[in-house]
Amino acid sequence: MIIGLIGSLEELIDQYKINVIQLIFIVFIVTIVILGSLMTLVEPHLPNSIRQSFRYGKHSFKGESDALVNHLEVPKAWFSHFYIFAFGWSMLSLYFIISTIITQKVAPELVLRFLDFMCGGRSHRQVQVDSNTALLATLLLSLQCVRRFYETNFVQIFSKRSKMNLSHYAVGYVHYFGAITSLLANTAGFVRNSKPAPFTLSNVTPLQATYILIFLFSWYQQYSSNMVLVNLRKNAKTGAVKTEDHLMPTSGWFNLISSPHMFFEMVMYYCLADLLTPIRTWKLIFIWVASNQTINALLTHQWYKANFKDYPEQRHAIIPWLL
């Protein structure tokens, strides 16, 4: 019965060219744009249940809480869970693309059927990027997943009081599942009747090399910015946790913007999206990331200004000298 149901779903997806991953990110974009706009423009007029569900971390909702929403909240420290998933999922993706390039064979049938099911159907998936480009993008995203896994599980100091809505927790898993899956969906070697090319550095274009360097620069700057936040909660001499309060950062890129870690997240995803230019899903992923990070940065900026009367006026929210 289950096998028959899966077969029927595969036929439906193929017949109507349904790209499940694209649909997911379209829903994410529409949701964050609508709710984010309402939160920044007319928040006082929104029900407390929506405000409480949307806000988390330092800018979490401080008014009268909703009883139902309270039951749907989990510790913010659970952020570390979906980076464990992202670490494993990215490593599996990296394994498959490296193995197809080394063996010069198409991916296993099970992988092809999975990609057919998630990304448009057997008859409609086409090669849009070469295996060289896909390998570079997979390496970069895997590097980001590994670092975030390390930070959230071994470095970051989460407040025991900080909560987030279960929807934020679920979205984290879905984001990395979709982003990593989409790296392979339209790659040579992962589409039937296609073959990956041998990897050679000579095939890396100047533009790709530029994006790689920008990504790595942003990757390091995001790590440095995250460490500034971590060190605010530590004793400089002993390294012991001294507070779980949110304090005002005053060094590095924080002198220009309130959320440099979010800014560099946007930059990294832009580099990946442009590396994978023909893939429409990755354009949607970038729009989703940019929208999400911008809304969160604006709320964070508002919180800093409301809680620190001496907050530097020259700081912007997320884009230096602009926003």
Q: What percentage of the chain carries pLDDT values higher than 90?
A: 55
Q: Flag whether pLDDT at 1 surpasses 80.
A: no
Indicate if the pLDDT at residue 323 is higher than 80: no
- pLDDT at residue 63, rounded to an integer: 80
> Average pLDDT, whole number, for the chain?
89
Q: 3-state secondary structure string, 83-130? A: HHHHHHHHHHHHHHHHHHHHHCCCCCHHHHHHHHHHCCCCCCCCCCEC
CA distance 180 to 115: 11
- The b/e string for 7-33 (b: 16+ C-beta within 10 A; e otherwise) is eeeeeebbeeebbebbebbeebbeebb
- Quick: pLDDT tens for 178-189: 999 999 999 999
Task: Decide which of 239 and 48 is more confident.
Answer: 48
Highest mean pLDDT of the ranges 6-15, 213-222, 275-284, 303-312: 213-222
Mean pLDDT across the stretch 31-36?
92
Give the model confidence (pLDDT) of 107-153 as tens digits.
999 999 999 989 887 777 899 999 999 999 999 999 999 999 999 99
Least confident range from 6-20, 108-122, 175-189, 300-314: namely 6-20
With beta carbons less than 8 A apart as the criterion, state whether 291 and 32 touch.
Answer: yes
Proportion of the chain above pLDDT 70, given as a percent: 95
pTM score, two decimals?
0.92
Q: Are the C-beta atoms of residues 75 and 158 closer than 8 Å to each other? A: yes
